[in-house]
Structure 1
Amino acid sequence: MEVKPSPKQKIFRALMIATATILLVTHPMQSAAQLSTASVNGVIRDQSGAVIPGATVILRNVDTAVAIDTKTNTTGTYGLFNITPGHYTIEVQSSGFSPKKDTTFTLEVSQVATFDFVLTVGSQSSEVTVSSSNAQIDTTTANLGTVITGRQVNDLPLNGRNFTQLLLLTPGVSGANPSQNAGGYTTAVALGSSFSFPAVNGQTNRSNYFLTDGMNNYGTFFSTYAVPPIIDAIQEFKIVSHTDDAEFGSVLGGVVNVVTKSGTNTLHGSAWEYARNAIFDARTYFLPPTAAKAQFHQNQFGGSIGGPVVVPKVYDGRNKTFFFGAYQGFRYLQTSNTPLRVPTAAQLSGDESSWPTQLYNPYTTKPDPAHPGQFIRDAFPGNQLGSFLDPRMVAYAQFVFPMAGPVFDGAGDNAIDTTPVTQEQNEFNVRIDHTFRNGDTAFFRYSFIDSNVNSSGGQPGLPNVTATPARNWGGSYVHVFSPTLVSQVQYARTTVQLNSTTRFDRSTSAIISQVGFSPSFVGQFTAVDGSLLPGPGIANFTGGSGENVNYNPGATNSYQISGSVTKVAGRNVIRLGGGYISAGYATLTSGAQLGFAAQQTGNTNPLDTVNAGDPLASFLINVPNYAEHFNRESNTRPGGVLSAFAQDTWKASDRLTLNLGVRYDVTFIPPFGTESTAGKQGGIETGDVNFNNGTYVLQKLSPPCNVTGVAPCIPGDGTLPANVVVDPRGKIAFNSYNNVGPRFGFAYRIGEKSALKGGFGIVYDNWAAVTQTSQNIGGGWPDVGQQLANNINQPNSGTTTPTVQSQNPFNDNGNSALPGPTPFNQVGFFYDPHLKDPYSEQWNLGAERQLDSSTTVEINYVGSVSKRLGMPGYYNTALLPGSGNPQSRALYPYIAPTYYSRSVGAANYNAFQFSLNRRFNNGLAYQVAYTWSKAMNVGGDDLFQNTTVPTDPYNPAAYGNYSVSGFDLTNILSVNAVYQIPVGRGQRLSTGSHVADYILGNWQFNNIFQAHSGLPFTPYISSDIANTGNLAQNEYEHANIVGNPNKITKRTSAEFFNTAAYVAPAGFTFGTASRNSLRSAGYWGLDSSIFRLFPVGGEREFEFRIEAFNLLNNVVLGQPNNDLNSGMSFGTVNTTANSSRVLQLALKYLF
């Protein structure tokens, strides 16, 4: 489905495309901005307005004394490029004129600063000094983005000192993160920290890209950073989006670029210790009054140092060679009081009388003569399981679960898991910068982190150990050919491992034998010798994931090589460049899992939402609903993203700058499997369902099973089943080669303090989930490395009673699993071989005004239409609702419903954005960011649509599924401020007493206030009422709306919305409630800190800090239960969207 823009949007887009096309055809392609550096340009004139060719322009770094110079060309234009952000002065000299110098100013990351000078006739000795008044507003580009300065990074309160929290201070950034947008994993994050994974300007959370010093620092499997930068090593950062600069691209959302500190001519550094303890924290809102708070200790400590590289009597690097290094350690220990819901002794004896509704016996299922295509069952009298209780499952439960005690909360919890959670992190960062005599510059940086977490695997006695080592390193070299020609080359390397083991702390061999699990289900693993006990997976009960081993030595494994050339030609700044970033993946995973649902012991009448069944009863009578066995040695072949761009920054007049560019990106999707994995489970011999033509596509032909007797193999004599083909290319995916994106922007300077700016561009998403999508097919037929069975033991016209038990859920011979006769009965995570890279047409129009020497204000209208978005979900379900076997009504009746990704999603975003920014001056800095927006999309909100799925996968926008996105927040406000009390020596105020000044002065207050609208969610019913066969993602069935859900006296945790407004849909129909038609509670919170400074001479001082997160201990209720099938729990809330108040103490030494 394609989102249609409004008439106004059509006119705006048409004008932008037409203008860009004409200019691109008639004008050279060029550019001026840099990813991690800044640039300066301008025009030099005399008092008559005539340009001055050959004038010398000198830019000098105040902290390092490094100077770079250039000369104006015949049009009086100059340009300085690839400048490290920092504090500078600029001076202009020309024979016959008095030199002119601009006092110290700041250049920020990705800034394009314009300094025009008018020289007066005079002697070279009579220098004129001015103070720039227009350097703060951007009069060159139309980029959207906010620079977060080093002072903000270091001084604003950050829980866990993770910089991503500060991304939310930028207009257009939503902190909402639906479900699996983070890939189900996170990179090395400090436990308890406020890690943010935002959506930027209406694009999904996975559509952002992370750079450090302009170089790739992107976790390709995580869609976030690979190695987190240390706070005290950050100079500043910026998130750029909706850019008219073609150098930025490959994602639809934002490019986050962190610039690390470099050394200066003097030795500077810091040392710190941040500490948290449970005794300082408030109780959580839903913690029972009689329950004790979990105890924990957290320490974050480290140091940094930077300066010139000096080796006495050997090398003096002042004014040319500098270093900066930082180390940080993190230690976390939390005792756990995790509530568990486990089976009681009575339940384990078969007495289910405590279950409040009637249970039904699936072994008595038979066709309903009164309703053809439906079934009926006999009830369990008194909810007593009797002879149907399976003693093997009782023994299984007694081994896995702790003994039940009295119920102690409203959720039915009756046990406690006291397994402590510990984390140890060590990270360091080192950077070297050097300036050569000819003006060339180079730097190298190495960043490292090791993170180790020990926690519970979901049950007492089931520990999980996770190690996440990550590395990011690289360098850059800038060569100055002439004052008008500069080149840059970069190389970077990024690696992340994610290794996790979950094993019981006692032997499982006896219970595996007692339960009777087949060796092919719980054994024969590559990653571990012996067997792994599967998790029971009982819905609404604490079950854990069972035993599993996941080694991901190549969760991220990439290198980057890139370069650019910048040329000043007349009034044009020409920039050409490109690069390649590789993407690869390697993993070894082993484990098994069971799942038990309610419907196996519920009434088969789909309209009976009361007697829906009990998952525990299904477990005890041994009727599983789900099973999975995975044993995969997965690797991908080389892949990556190739990019090229051309950009022209054309100073059409002294006031008007046009930016014209084009970018080309192509994703080489990493083909799954390598030749070295042939014959191994999870290797190259796998396939993918192509629902475009109903075929199953193999990458590589396997030998016959009657020859090898071991999977992967083709059943029988090797004859391929009908509709199975082999791709002669040896891979599944087809790459997209038409990703050409034009860019156009303008900036018009009005006076000296205002600018009008606008831009249009087409950008492509080359990264979101690309590696995860490519490896999802691993272990599929004719392999058995990934076996997954959904919706088993569901009655149908062929088999009405259960035929599958937990011991051997795939019904193989029990010793050596071989593939089934056809690939079309398996369930997997397949994708369209012709997946396209998503793209977005983006535009913005705004104005910026400088209010005083420190303060600017900016407003923008921001819009976009995005197409070809990835839409995973359950596919090949029935084409229409109806009675009878839904498989007979499927698109391809011979193919079982399965997960399938397609490029059919679409989105639309419109926003008004406002920002007010005061740089630090006279002890005060602040930023205000406000966004009023609406983000619409089709179908689901996250990678695998675990939160919302299309009602009808064949018409994703129908039935109210074109609606606000899961990350849509109508109103977003953030305010941050840093304020130093202006009392004391050198300050505006003084008492006249050194003692009083010392006591009253040296205080600093820092605050972050954030507020936003509630998160959208969908009222649904977890039943396949429409009878489409979608029992894997039955959130597709929305509830019927029959009243006003917002008609409620007061929203409470007991009833957040009017639950009477929803009922179950009629049989064989879809519900009428729209997707994401409800919202949770709005959010607001205040984080504050107080610093007390203790100067000890010179630039040395101690800082004592008290930081409070959620200072006012405001309670924001979380998302309500939105499943109509959950009975009395429907509409209730048992979580909070924020944490209770947390205090952190810190001591810091700066020199």
Structure 2
Amino acid sequence: MKQLVLKLGLVAALVTVSSTFVWCQGTATGSISGSVFDPSGGVIPGAEILVKNSATGGEFTTMSAENGTFMVPALASGMYSVTVTMPGFKQVVVNDVKVDVATPASVKITLQVGEPTESVIVMGGAQVLQTQTANVATTITGRQITDLPFVSRDALDLVLLLPGTATPGRPRTSSVNGLPKGSLNITIDGLNVQDNLLKSSDGFFTYIRPRLDAIEEVTLSTATPGAESGAEGAVQIKFVTRGGDNEYHGSLYEYHRNPALNANFWYNNRDKTPDPKTGKAPRDRILLNQYGVRVGGPIRIPGLFDGRDRAFFFVNYEEYRLPEQYTRDRTILTPEAQSGIFRYGTQSVNLFTLAAGNNQTATPDPTTAALLAAIRGSTSKTGSVRAHSDPNFQYYTFTNTGGQTRRFPTVRFDLNVTDKHHIENVWNYQAFGSKVDFLNTADPAFPDFDNFGSQGGPRWSNVTALRSTLTPTLVNEARFGLQGGLTVWYPEVGPASFGLGGGYAVSITGPGISQWYAVNSPQRRNSPVKQFNDTVSWIKGTHTLNFGFNFSQVNLFNNTGNAAVTIGLGVDSTDPANAMFSAANFPGSSASDRTRAANIYALLTGRVTSIGATAYLDEKTGKYLYMGRRIQRAQMRESGFFAQDSWRWKPNLTVNYGLRWEVQFPFTALNSAYSTTTFAELWGISGAGNTFKPGTLTGKETQFVSFEAGQKAYDTDYNNLAPSLGFAWSPNWNNSVLRKIFGSGTQSVIRGGYSIAFNREGTNVFTAILGSNPGGSLTATRNMTNGNLVGGSLGNLPLLFRDKNRLGPPTFTDTPAYPLTGLVGDSVNTFDPKLRLGYIQSWSFGIQRELTKDTVFEARYVGNKGTGLWRQYNINETNLIENKFADEFKLAMANLQANNAAGGSRNGSFAYFGPGSGTSPLPFMLAFFSGKPGSQAGDAALYTSSNFKSSTLVNYLFPDYPRPIDFANTLVGNAGMRANSATAGLPANFFRVNPGKLGGAYIVDNGGASNYHGLAFELRRRMSRG
């Protein structure tokens, strides 16, 4: 507490002496600064300055300071005129001074001796040189927005054109200056509009999309921000909505895309059957229409109210209509393979005949047979079938149809309540709808199949701001914003969507063919945002002091769950049918051939290897519901105080310095649908820190306790101070050579800076950690890893899909019994209890040179370093080195080669066959297969397990593609083999540090880091002739 008081005192002290010149991250304003000189170059203090908004008529006054400088803060984006009056001098009017968000505009004014009644008019008098700040920022505005060529009408895509932005794929994959996605903060009119669930992984995606004709300008700040922008992300992308003015303006537009104007896709020409009429492959029908209207101006009611210079409106409406077609390629079984004939090379094997000869299931499963028949029947309706390189498969190509409709209304009102108080309100409502969700491949897997899903839902935002000029030198701006809505995925999906699977999501992909269903996980969620920001600007002599406060609250609501129980098919290594897939029964075959044959056999006969389901804790009853819905609710809050000074030390030198104190409160649960564990129990029986130490067992079995509503995920970090320092200097070059290169003192600027900014991660970090622990949900999956698929009253393998009475849920308690241990297949997840806020240090140094009155060239170096960034990783990696298993794996590879060379009964085996056989003992594998201790590994008579010829394991031993980790995971993932290894005396943590949680042991800590260095060359030109 003492430290907290000291920090508050420090910030308060700084507030009294300093503030900022660029505005709080939550605001959407800029400023105008300048210097006033007499004809001899001397500064003029006490000159009267009038700044007027050219569109709305709003006026702001100030006076030049002792060194001739002035500043007018918190100005809305737009065009302004600056009028300077001083007794004994002619009045000067500078027109067309452009104010951009978070980017100070500057003017240099020289008064001429004369009467104030005489005027000197200067057009486009604002300096293109940036003389007021070290912040590296670029603004796109006006006709640049509407005239720049790019495919979409999403204004965020404009940022892709700016320096520092890298786009490796589609726009959502973009990053800025090499920084992680959590460092992005995207705002419209000061309100964060990102999808805050996905901010850490998909930070370039906005929930509210800025539309091209609704946006006045966009500013990208990439490095050395001031203290006002030092939180919620080191990279600030700020959009400002258009507003109305004293004249009526509008537009009406439509953008059209027609397949008649497009070339066909190469794949369509290759895969589709030509149209008999044209002889060409048909094109996908993409008929895009984007149309809209915008209008703005003064609010006028004839005879009652005239809003010129007082009240204004702006309305934009855009609609996006896209009938869609997508060509889909599927892999299906051949009719012969469906009948049980497996082909490889020039040979074939009847799988049903083989099974009958080995006393295994030799008849098709009724459900999978009907399902495969439905797939085959769909191919006769539309599309084309062609040969596959594998004789058991065919390719099937067809076209799915769908469509999207999106609506984007935007409304803005501005009101000059008095000449000192201005109110603005901006409202966005965006409605998304689709017939099928092509983006997430939720369209039908095959023609006319009932399983598909759409995506849609409403989204909205509202921002209200009040700007008050309290005195000519004191301005306050308060801004409050809300963002909300609901996104819904796959509302069509339910039990009826899985009729072809007998009500189950039975997977058919094991052999390598396409899945028959598209989706199984309907979902709805949102991450609403509330933000409040208040900024005070105080001009004190040559100092422009700014200080403020911001508050953000991000909530999470997530409703998830599967609609149907998933069924996995295959032949387990302990299945009695596994032995018949041997080299002897498939002469001349490879291990991959035999694996594929086993998977086709499992599909045809319905051999179940897993029954996937989850039981979720009902937030109303507090009881687990098998295949219920999971409701997650959480919240994160953040607040900060900042203070900064823009000191016009000299007319040609500005120094900016400031400090920010940021507190990001921990993720907090809003319902009791979560569980947690201690940091030490992440390591389970091995004990904290004992990674890769098999046999060290100083810990205990991981236990979970309830994470109740109101509980915080980690300790609050109050230790977050972010300084900023920068300068902008226009030197007077006395050296004649330097003057030729850099020009006079007003033609070049050297600027540099350093600052720290804090990141804010997405709420998906919280759900990925505490939402993955058992407790809020229980794994109700039955499989061999969990040891509950078969055994005891559950019977033995094989478990057949046709035996529906054996497919029920496992036994579990209907209420949480904390502390609980969960299942061996579960994961354990936690936060470092001392988790702190990650931050970005950035620095820059550059020089600007004015080439002409409207053109500037800048060369600059920019660097940044991410420190203490959040990192999620798994400490439960598979150990191969310290336990010497990698060495034994190499011996097993050599055994397989020697046995294959020997042929006969040894062919296809990696077992030890005794001295002189060219093979070696395998004590670890013998322990897992047969439960024999290492002391007996030299007895070749013990190597009788069928696992030494398992096609799955043999496949991992190929010298061209050795897979030791997959081999080890197969051993540790089988409950019977784990029991055997314990009998043989191997430690439980032989492979994994936490063998009781094979799903992984994940932690989020501050171990992340980044480093970036860049050199940028930029040519800026002010559009000055229309």
TM-score by length of 2: 0.72
- Alignment partner of 1:166 is 2:147: no
Residue 103 of structure 1: aligned partner: 95
How far, CA to CA, are the matches of 1:447 and 1:664 in structure 2? Answer: 32
Q: Look up the SS of the partner of 2:145 in the other structure.
A: helix
- Alignment partner of 1:907 is 2:1006: no
Contact preservation (8 Å) 1:634, 1:672: no
Shift of 1:921: 3.9
The partner residue of 1:468 within 457, 468, 475 is: 457
Change (3 A) 1:918 1:625: farther
Report the AA paired with residue 905 of structure 1. G
- Alignment partner of 1:842 is 2:824: no
How far, CA to CA, are the matches of 2:499 and 2:811 in structure 1? Answer: 18
Residue 194 of structure 2: aligned partner: 218
CA shift digits 1:543-594 (9 cap, x unpaired): 2665545342x41211111111111122211111121111111122221464
Contact preservation (8 Å) 1:871, 1:905: yes
The partner residue of 1:541 within 510, 513, 521 is: 513
Q: How does 1:87-236 map to 2 (within 5 A)?
A: 87-131=79-123, 135-176=127-168, 195-223=171-199, 224-236=205-217
Report the AA paired with residue 867 of structure 2. K
Residue 607 of structure 2: aligned partner: 622
- Alignment partner of 1:823 is 2:795: no
Q: Look up the SS of the partner of 2:552 in the other structure.
A: strand
Change (3 A) 1:259 1:469: same
- Alignment partner of 1:730 is 2:720: no
How far, CA to CA, are the matches of 1:862 and 1:659 in structure 2? Answer: 18
Shift of 1:67: 2.3
Change (3 A) 1:618 1:47: farther
CA shift digits 1:999-1019 (9 cap, x unpaired): xxxxxxxxxxxxxxxxxxxxx
- Alignment partner of 1:406 is 2:399: no
- Alignment partner of 1:70 is 2:62: yes
Residue 658 of structure 1: aligned partner: 655
Change (3 A) 1:598 1:329: same
Change (3 A) 1:816 1:758: same
Change (3 A) 1:330 1:574: same
Change (3 A) 1:727 1:283: closer
Q: Look up the SS of the partner of 1:464 in the other structure.
A: coil
Change (3 A) 1:815 1:822: closer
Q: Which has the larger radius of gyration?
A: 2
RMSD across aligned positions (CA): 4.2
Report the AA paired with residue 846 of structure 1. G
The partner residue of 1:84 within 66, 69, 76 is: 76
How far, CA to CA, are the matches of 2:65 and 2:349 in structure 1? Answer: 87
Residue 454 of structure 1: aligned partner: 435
How far, CA to CA, are the matches of 2:659 and 2:782 in structure 1? Answer: 47
Q: Percent identity?
A: 22
Q: How does 1:387-406 map to 2 (within 5 A)?
A: 387=362, 390-398=365-373, 403=378, 406=385
Contact preservation (8 Å) 1:46, 1:120: yes
Residue 756 of structure 1: aligned partner: 750
The partner residue of 1:286 within 243, 263, 267 is: 267
Please identify, of 534-543 and 470-479, the stretch whose mean Cα deviation from structure 2 is larger: 534-543
CA shift digits 1:654-705 (9 cap, x unpaired): 222121122233323332342xxxxxxxx52533574665469xxxxxxxxx
Q: Look up the SS of the partner of 1:585 in the other structure.
A: strand
How far, CA to CA, are the matches of 2:88 and 2:349 in structure 1? Answer: 99
Change (3 A) 1:214 1:66: same
How far, CA to CA, are the matches of 2:810 and 2:788 in structure 1? Answer: 24
Contact preservation (8 Å) 2:828, 2:997: no
Change (3 A) 1:774 1:643: farther
Q: Look up the SS of the partner of 1:347 in the other structure.
A: helix
How far, CA to CA, are the matches of 1:786 and 1:915 in structure 2? Answer: 56
Change (3 A) 1:25 1:383: farther
Unaligned runs of 5+ in 1: 1-20, 178-193, 362-378, 523-532, 675-682, 697-719, 924-1151
Shift of 1:499: 0.7
Contact preservation (8 Å) 2:468, 2:475: yes
Which of the two has greater helix per residue?
2
Report the AA paired with residue 289 of structure 2. N
How far, CA to CA, are the matches of 2:388 and 2:16 in structure 1? Answer: 71
Residue 647 of structure 1: aligned partner: 644
- Alignment partner of 1:740 is 2:724: no
Report the AA paired with residue 770 of structure 1. T
How far, CA to CA, are the matches of 1:211 and 1:818 in structure 2? Answer: 43
Residue 411 of structure 2: aligned partner: 430
Residue 936 of structure 1: aligned partner: none
Change (3 A) 1:196 1:551: closer
Shift of 1:266: 1.1
Contact preservation (8 Å) 1:812, 1:818: no
CA shift digits 1:1052-1073 (9 cap, x unpaired): xxxxxxxxxxxxxxxxxxxxxx
Contact preservation (8 Å) 1:359, 1:383: no
Contact preservation (8 Å) 1:534, 1:547: no
Shift of 1:82: 1.5
Q: Look up the SS of the partner of 1:872 in the other structure.
A: strand
Q: How does 1:673-688 map to 2 (within 5 A)?
A: 673-674=670-671, 683-687=672-676
CA shift digits 1:337-363 (9 cap, x unpaired): 3122233333333333259999999xx
Contact preservation (8 Å) 1:133, 1:753: no
Contact preservation (8 Å) 2:221, 2:235: yes
Residue 399 of structure 2: aligned partner: 418
How far, CA to CA, are the matches of 2:555 and 2:582 in structure 1? Answer: 47
How far, CA to CA, are the matches of 2:341 and 2:46 in structure 1? Answer: 95
Contact preservation (8 Å) 1:469, 1:498: yes
Contact preservation (8 Å) 1:484, 1:569: yes
Q: How does 1:488-503 map to 2 (within 5 A)?
A: 488-501=477-490, 503=492
Q: Look up the SS of the partner of 2:669 in the other structure.
A: coil
- Alignment partner of 1:571 is 2:542: yes
Residue 994 of structure 2: aligned partner: 892
Shift of 1:899: 6.2
Change (3 A) 1:912 1:317: same
Change (3 A) 1:643 1:616: farther
Please identify, of 307-316 and 195-204, the stretch whose mean Cα deviation from structure 2 is larger: 195-204
Q: How does 1:1116-1127 map to 2 (within 5 A)?
A: none
Unaligned runs of 5+ in 2: 1-9, 200-204, 273-281, 437-441, 584-589, 615-626, 686-699, 732-744, 886-923, 925-970, 973-988
Q: Look up the SS of the partner of 2:337 in the other structure.
A: helix
Q: How does 1:18-57 map to 2 (within 5 A)?
A: 28-34=17-23, 35-47=27-39, 51-57=43-49
How far, CA to CA, are the matches of 1:170 and 1:383 in structure 2? Answer: 68
Residue 872 of structure 1: aligned partner: 872
How far, CA to CA, are the matches of 1:878 and 1:478 in structure 2? Answer: 60
Contact preservation (8 Å) 1:634, 1:778: no
How far, CA to CA, are the matches of 2:332 and 2:814 in structure 1? Answer: 33
Q: Look up the SS of the partner of 1:773 in the other structure.
A: helix
Change (3 A) 1:824 1:289: closer
Change (3 A) 1:509 1:725: closer
Please identify, of 49-58 and 575-584, the stretch whose mean Cα deviation from structure 2 is larger: 49-58
Shift of 1:111: 1.6
CA shift digits 1:150-203 (9 cap, x unpaired): 3122122332312222211111101125xxxxxxxxxxxxxxxx7544100011
Residue 702 of structure 1: aligned partner: none
Change (3 A) 1:508 1:745: closer
Q: Look up the SS of the partner of 2:673 in the other structure.
A: coil
Residue 766 of structure 2: aligned partner: 773
Shift of 1:447: 0.4
Q: Look up the SS of the partner of 2:385 in the other structure.
A: coil
Please identify, of 561-570 and 340-349, the stretch whose mean Cα deviation from structure 2 is larger: 340-349
Change (3 A) 1:644 1:245: same
CA shift digits 1:587-640 (9 cap, x unpaired): 2222146486999689999xx995694465554553547845464332324322
Contact preservation (8 Å) 1:689, 1:832: no
Change (3 A) 1:489 1:788: farther
Change (3 A) 1:922 1:618: farther
Contact preservation (8 Å) 2:107, 2:125: no
